[in-house]
Amino acid sequence: MSLQLERVGRKFAGKAAVQDVSFRAEPGEIIGLLGTSGCGKSTLLRAISGLDTEYDGVIEINDEKVDGIQKTTGFMFQEPRLLPWLNVLDNVTFGLEGNREEKQNKAGRYLQSVGLAGSEKLYPKQLSGGMAQRVAIARALATSPEILLLDEPFSALDAFTKMQLQDLLLEVWRSFQSTMVLVTHDVDEAAYLCDRIIVLRGQPGKVEREITISEPRPRERGSSEQAAYKAEILASLDLTTETA
């Protein structure tokens, strides 16, 4: 599914938070929205999601204007946002269509794909942060989204869990080929996961640069190619590896 933004802006109480943002995501691409705090990344993601329709400019998914929440769009946030009174399986079936058995079978398959087979009956308070975020990945994917919007999905996790879940996300993305838009502060994450990075800067946030990561996958963390992309991203923000 393709996504197109043309001169998108958003004002709050007359003050611009983002301005003139244009980019295109081709079907199956992973696009990163990266920039310093307050440059409007989450604001853009809310507009793309259809949760906020008060934006200026044009947002189109498959050439149709986004004017409300789309059934084909999935979400993942920094925190897993699980319903505490439902167990893991029911958190994933919640919101799915079909009869109970179909929903449970589907949720079970996705839980298996994120390595949580056997944890279906646990409640959110019994899960580690990483497990809870795996449930959130399964829940987001079980709706078969054609566009998956991710708002700093791994930023609250420890470094090792973060890397594991980044790889898990790439693995499931390979099977489902959703188009993804990933909001991140994390330069390593952007260089490792994305096909293209839209670097936003300023207040109001504007596109500073668009960087294509042409390194084929699987990518190697710590490779010289990754280091070069990271340096390029930081340079576009007037930062260096020493300051990051």
Ligand X SMILES: Nc1ncnc2c1ncn2[C@@H]1O[C@H](COP(=O)(O)OP(=O)(O)OP(=O)(O)O)[C@@H](O)[C@H]1O
CB of 35 to ligand X, least distance (A): 6
Q: Residue 39 or 132: which CB sits closer to ligand X? A: 39
Q: Which is nearer to ligand X, 146 or 152 (CB)?
A: 152
Q: Which is nearer to ligand X, 57 or 115 (CB)?
A: 57
Q: How far is the CB of 4 from ligand X (least distance, A)?
A: 20
With a CB cutoff of 8 Å and minimum separation 6, the contacts of 223 are 215
Q: Are 130 and 165 in contact (CB under 8 A)?
A: yes
30: tokens are 């992973």
Closest to ligand X by CB, 55 or 110: 55
Looking at the Cβ atoms of 77 and 173, the one nearer to ligand X is 77
Contact between 173 and 218 under an 8 Å Cβ cutoff? The reply is: no
DSSP 174-242: HHH--EEEEEES-HHHHHHH-SEEEEEETTTBEEEEEEE--PPSSP-TT-HHHHHHHHHHHHHTT--TT
Q: How far is the CB of 19 from ligand X (least distance, A)?
A: 11
In this complex, which beta carbon is closest to ligand X, that of residue 37 or of residue 224? 37
Least distance between ligand X and beta carbon 206 (Å): 12
- Distance of alpha carbon 203 from the chain centroid: 22
Residues that bind ligand X (CB under 6 A): 12, 17, 35, 37-43, 185
CB of 235 to ligand X, least distance (A): 20
CB 132 within 8 A of CB 124: yes
Four-residue CA torsion sign, 144, 149, 151, 152: positive
Q: Which helix (H) or strand (E) holds 90?
A: helix 88-93
Instruction: Give least dist CB 167 to ligand X, A.
Output: 24
